[in-house]
């Protein structure tokens, strides 16, 4: 059996600066009640990059691309595992131009790079790697053909589809919170997705329930759990407080207005 412990140890992260076009032009599920404060978003993003560096990662920072307002959400563009990078065919047509730059960046790192072809569509935000298998959200952005392309690329791991109905991505409501621990949001959709995980996944996981779906998007990096600050997840913060593992808090109030989560902002290698 594969050991999960080495799978959440990372040496490198790829991030991208926030383009000035993001507040007006980024794709979003719903219009936010308040406009994105670009200056504040940039400050929060710098804190995010600093956090990754403090955990020992070399951070490759791509410059912003105003032609692609969503370029800061690099997670969607590629799935990287065991030295192989699959370049996604992104679910929203306006974002597909983000792939070329990411492909060359990953090739420069010495990774084996595969490219997804039509009719496959997949966003990295729908791909939850547990260290043992892939759980893939079948959503508005990721289709069955995309999941099958991922399964062919990473054929040594089981790949299972999980229904995503109203959320943007699977990781909008569940992520890894530790070895064999999945943090799951409290909404009915998140709970239904968890029931599907319990039925379909090849391995068993402990569920860490948080009331806010927003809180369920965390980063587990080099033994540390990164989650949102109390002001952004007031009902869920105490759940994280009770955990004994090393923890780090980050603000993400501005990018969350355009559906940006903590995992969205990096590709971890």
11 phi/psi in degrees, rounded to 5 = -110, -25
- First-last CA distance in the chain: 22
Q: Is 264 a catalytic residue?
A: yes
Residues belonging to the chain: 269
Query: Which entry of 45, 167, 169, 179 is annotated as an active-site residue?
Result: 169
Cis peptide before 119 (omega within 30 of 0): yes
**Count of CA atoms in the C-beta half-sphere (13 A) of 203:** 21
Residue in 16, 71, 218, 264 annotated catalytic: 264
C-alpha 4/C-alpha 8 separation (Å) is 7
Considering just the CA atoms, what is the radius of gyration of the chain in Å?
17
Contact (Cβ atoms closer than 8 angstroms) between residue 107 and residue 115: no
How many helices (H) and strands (E) would you count in the chain?
6, 15
List residues with catalytic annotation: 169, 264
């Amino acid at each position: 059996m594969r050991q999960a412990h080495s799978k959440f140890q990372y040496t490198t992260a790829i991030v991208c600066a926030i383009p000035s076009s993001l507040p007006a032009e980024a794709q979003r599920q719903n219009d936010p009640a308040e406009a994105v404060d670009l200056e504040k978003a940039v400050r929060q993003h710098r804190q995010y990059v600093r956090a990754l560096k403090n955990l020992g990662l070399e951070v490759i920072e791509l410059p912003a691309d105003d032609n692609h307002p969503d370029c800061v959400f690099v997670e969607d563009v590629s799935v990287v595992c065991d030295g192989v990078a699959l370049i996604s065919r992104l679910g929203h047509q306006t974002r597909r131009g983000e792939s070329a730059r990411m492909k060359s960046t990953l090739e420069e790192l010495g990774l084996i790079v595969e490219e997804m072809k039509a009719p496959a569509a997949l966003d990295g935000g729908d791909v939850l790697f547990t260290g043992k298998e892939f759980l893939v959200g079948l959503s508005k952005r990721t289709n069955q053909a995309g999941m099958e392309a991922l399964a062919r690329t990473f054929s040594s791991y089981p790949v299972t589809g999980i229904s995503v109905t109203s959320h943007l991505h699977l990781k909008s409501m569940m992520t890894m919170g530790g070895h064999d621990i999945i943090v799951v949001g409290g909404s009915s959709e998140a709970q239904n997705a968890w029931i599907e995980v319990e039925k379909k996944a090849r391995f068993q996981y402990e569920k860490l329930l948080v009331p806010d779906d927003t809180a369920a998007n965390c980063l587990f990096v080099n033994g540390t759990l990164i989650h949102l600050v109390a002001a952004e997840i007031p009902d869920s913060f105490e759940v994280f407080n009770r955990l004994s593992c090393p923890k780090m808090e980050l603000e993400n109030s501005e990018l969350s207005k355009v559906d940006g989560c903590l995992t969205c902002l990096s590709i971890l290698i």
